[in-house]
Amino acid sequence: MSKPASAPTNTCHDRWPLLRDLAVFAVKLLLDNVRALALVPLSFIAVALDLTAKGHQERTRFYKVLRWGRQCGRMIDLYSVIESGRKGSHSDDVDGQLPTQ
């Protein structure tokens, strides 16, 4: 009698990078949501200040808020975990392509 083929076993060592990537993604996602929630009132306040300020050169607060939001988004780099996943992944592409069988 032949033994049934056993599924590859995942060792603890193999699981840690995935769990670490999940934790990093969750923290970054939380930070990104806090950033987005902060941008809503800040943008309204900046526009209100820009509209009440005299002269065109004073109407830059809103765009400063947008630049700050973009800079924070780049610093958070929400999807940077994809690169570490590619380094450790052999069977599938994390960009959405399914593995071929």
Check residue 42 and give its pLDDT.
97
Q: Cβ(43)–Cβ(65) under 8 Å?
A: yes
pLDDT tens digit string along 3-62?
666 656 667 778 899 999 999 999 999 999 999 999 999 999 999 999 988 776 677 899
Q: Which one has a higher pLDDT value, 95 or 29?
A: 29
- Contacts (Cβ under 8 Å, ≥6 apart) of 78: 25, 28, 29, 32
- Contacts (Cβ under 8 Å, ≥6 apart) of 93: 86, 99
Q: Is the pLDDT of residue 95 over 60?
A: no
State how far the Cα of 60 lies from the Cα of 57, in Å rounded to an integer: 7
